């Protein structure tokens, strides 16, 4: 069976035709979102791409930023003026294919369940460490969304009271310390005290540059890595106490730092756990890499129509 997955973001959207059995992406196209064009034009362009590659696809799944309820984008910070937008209904009508929409972080954890490190597990916590920090939870095989369907905002648990201000308005959120945006901010804030850092030899400061510096033993890179790992360790230990997962999966660009964060993170998580939770779950990095967005979106459809 074939499914179309749409990884929809404020900057770009990617449409892929996915073999539901193997997880192979058979066709794929990426385009600029052009958020300023508004809902009607954006959805027309998405539908045009879907129609060009859909073949005999049974359903369309969309992973979208924002608060999603019943296929409706209630609000999205990356899409100006999108409020109560019936995205699933609109795409379904333009393509003639049943369409399902879910928050992109929820789509990520579904992708791990169907195609990634979460295959075979019924209790999963997943975190995307990118521009922000997104989260998704599966318990007893079911996506946990809460009363209004907008829960599992794991990036907004407070790990440093009175810490840096987050984009959500609170202070000390996980996102304000462990996201790519936060890592770059911390490097810039500390530049005057570490002018000789390897980080500032690069033309462009990025989370990858900072993590590479930490890998090489750079003092500032290590300080930032350790602060990020401590915040993430506190959060994951808390999630373990609440959700009792079998596995915690890390995705997003920051996770590609690999062992430079994973090894100290596992040690930090264990140090914050109640003894009864030690050894009950593993922390791993997603194997899906660049395929995570499209496969996660396709999994939104699979949750609704099955294989």
Q: Please give the pLDDT value at position 116.
A: 96
- SS3 labels along the chain: CEEEEEEECCCEEEEEEEECCCCCEEEEEEEECCHHHCHHHHHHHHHHHHHHHCCCCCEEEEEECCEEECCEEEECCCCCCCEEECHHHHHHHHHCCCEEEEEHHHHHHHHHHHHCCCCCCCCEEEEEECCCEEEEEEECCEECCCCCCCCCCHHHCECCCCCCECCCCCECECHHHHCHHHHHHHHHHCHHHCCCCHHHHCCCCCHHHHHHHHHCCCHHHHHHHHHHHHHHHHHHHHHHHHHCCCEEEEECHHHHHCHHHHHHHHHHHHHHCCHHHCCCCEEEECCCHHHHHHHHHHHHHHHHHCC
The domains of the chain, with CATH numbers, are: 2-111+291-305 (3.30.420.40), 119-286 (3.30.420.40)
Q: What is the pLDDT of residues 173-198, one digit of tens each?
A: 999 999 999 999 999 999 999 999 99
If pLDDT is split at 50, 70 and 90, which confidence band does 56 have?
very high
The chain-wide mean pLDDT, for the chain, equals 94
If pLDDT is split at 50, 70 and 90, which confidence band does 74 have?
confident
The reported pTM is 0.92
């Amino acid at each position: 069976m074939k499914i179309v997955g749409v990884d929809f973001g404020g900057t770009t959207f990617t449409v892929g035709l996915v073999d539901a059995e193997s997880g192979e992406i058979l066709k794929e196209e990426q385009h600029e979102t052009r958020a300023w064009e508004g809902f009607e034009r954006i959805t027309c362009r998405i539908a045009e791409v879907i129609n060009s590659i859909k073949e005999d696809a049974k359903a369309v799944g969309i992973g979208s930023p924002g608060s999603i309820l019943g296929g409706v984008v209630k609000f999205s910070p990356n899409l100006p003026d999108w409020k109560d937008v019936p995205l699933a209904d609109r795409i379904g009508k333009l393509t003639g294919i049943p369409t399902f929409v879910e928050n992109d972080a929820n789509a990520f954890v579904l992708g791990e369940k169907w195609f990634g490190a979460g295959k075979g597990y019924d209790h999963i916590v997943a975190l995307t460490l990118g521009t922000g920090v997104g989260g998704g939870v599966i318990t007893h095989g079911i996506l946990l969304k809460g009363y209004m369907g907008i829960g599992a905002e794991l990036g907004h648990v407070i790990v440093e009271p009175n810490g840096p201000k987050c984009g959500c308005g609170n202070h000390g959120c996980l996102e304000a310390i462990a996201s790519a945006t936060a890592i770059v901010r911390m490097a810039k804030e500390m530049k005057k005290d570490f002018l000789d850092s390897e980080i500032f030899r690069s033309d462009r400061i990025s989370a990858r540059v900072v993590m590479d510096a930490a890998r090489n033993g750079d003092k500032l890179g290590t300080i930032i890595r350790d602060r990020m790992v401590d915040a993430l360790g506190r959060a994951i230990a808390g999630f373990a106490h609440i959700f009792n997962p079998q596995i915690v999966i890390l995705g997003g660009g920051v996770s590609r730092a690999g062992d430079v964060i994973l090894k100290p993170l596992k040690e930090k998580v264990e140090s914050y756990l109640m003894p009864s939770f030690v050894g009950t779950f593993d922390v791993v990095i997603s194997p899906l890499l660049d395929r995570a967005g499209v496969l996660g979106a396709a999994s939104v459809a699979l949750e609704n129509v099955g294989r």
